[in-house]
Amino acid sequence: MRAGRWKAPLTFLGLFTAVAFLIHVPYLELPFHWDEVGYFVPAALDLLKSGRLVPVSTEPTAHPPLVLAYLAGVWKVAGYSIASTRAAMLVLAGLALMAAFLLGVELSRQLPGAPAFLTVLFLLVSPLFYTQSMMAQLDMPAMLFTALALCLFLRENYRAAAITATVLVLVKETGIAAPLVMGLWLARERNREAIWFLLPLAALACWFGFLWQTTGHPFGSDKFTAYNLAYPLHPFRLAVSLLKRLYTLFIADFHWLGTAAIVYCRQLFRGRAWSLAFWFAGAHLALVIALGGAQLERYLLPLLPVFYTAAGGAWFALRLKLRIAGVSVMAGGLLAGLWWNPPYPFPYENNLAMTTFVELNKTAAHYLERAHPGRTVTTAWPLSDALRRPEFGYVQRKHRVRELPDFHPRHFDGIEEIDVLVLYSREWRRVPLMEEMWRRHFGYAPPIESEECQDRYGLTPVARWESRGQWIEILAREPLSPAPPSRRLPI
Per-domain residue ranges for the chain?
Answer: 11-348, 352-488
Q: What pLDDT score was predicted for residue 343?
A: 87
Residues 47 and 68 sit within 8 Å (Cβ to Cβ): yes
Name the amino acid, one letter, at 270.
Answer: R
Residues 161 and 146 sit within 8 Å (Cβ to Cβ): no
Query: Counting every residue, how long is the chain?
Result: 491
Closest CA to 342 of 269, 247, 215: 247
**How close are the terminal C-alpha atoms of the chain, in Å?**
52
Q: Is 29 helix (H, G, I), strand (E, B) or coil?
A: coil
Q: What pLDDT score was predicted for residue 341?
A: 93
Q: Is 465 helix (H, G, I), strand (E, B) or coil?
A: strand
> In whole angstroms, what is the distance from residue 250 CA to residue 254 CA?
8
CA dist list (Å): 107 to 48, 180, 276: 40, 20, 10
Bridge partners of residue 476, in order along the sequence: 420, 460
State yes or no: cis peptide before 382, omega within 30 of 0.
yes
Edge to edge, the sheet with strand 401-404 lists 401-404, 377-380, 420-424, 470-476, 460-467, 487-488
- Report residue 168: phi and psi, to 5°: -55, -50
Per-residue pLDDT of the chain (491 residues), as tens digits, is 455 677 888 899 999 999 999 999 999 999 999 999 999 999 999 999 999 999 999 999 999 999 999 999 999 999 999 999 999 999 999 999 999 999 999 999 988 889 999 999 999 999 999 999 999 999 999 999 999 999 999 999 999 999 999 999 999 999 999 999 999 999 999 999 999 999 999 999 999 999 999 999 999 998 898 888 888 888 888 998 999 999 999 999 999 999 999 999 999 999 999 999 999 999 999 999 999 888 899 999 999 999 999 999 999 999 999 999 999 999 999 999 999 999 888 999 999 999 999 999 999 999 999 999 989 999 999 999 999 999 999 999 999 999 999 999 999 988 989 999 999 999 887 666 666 666 665 667 788 999 999 999 999 999 999 999 999 999 999 755 554 555 555 44
> In whole angstroms, what is the distance from residue 228 CA to residue 294 CA?
8
How much is the pTM? 0.93
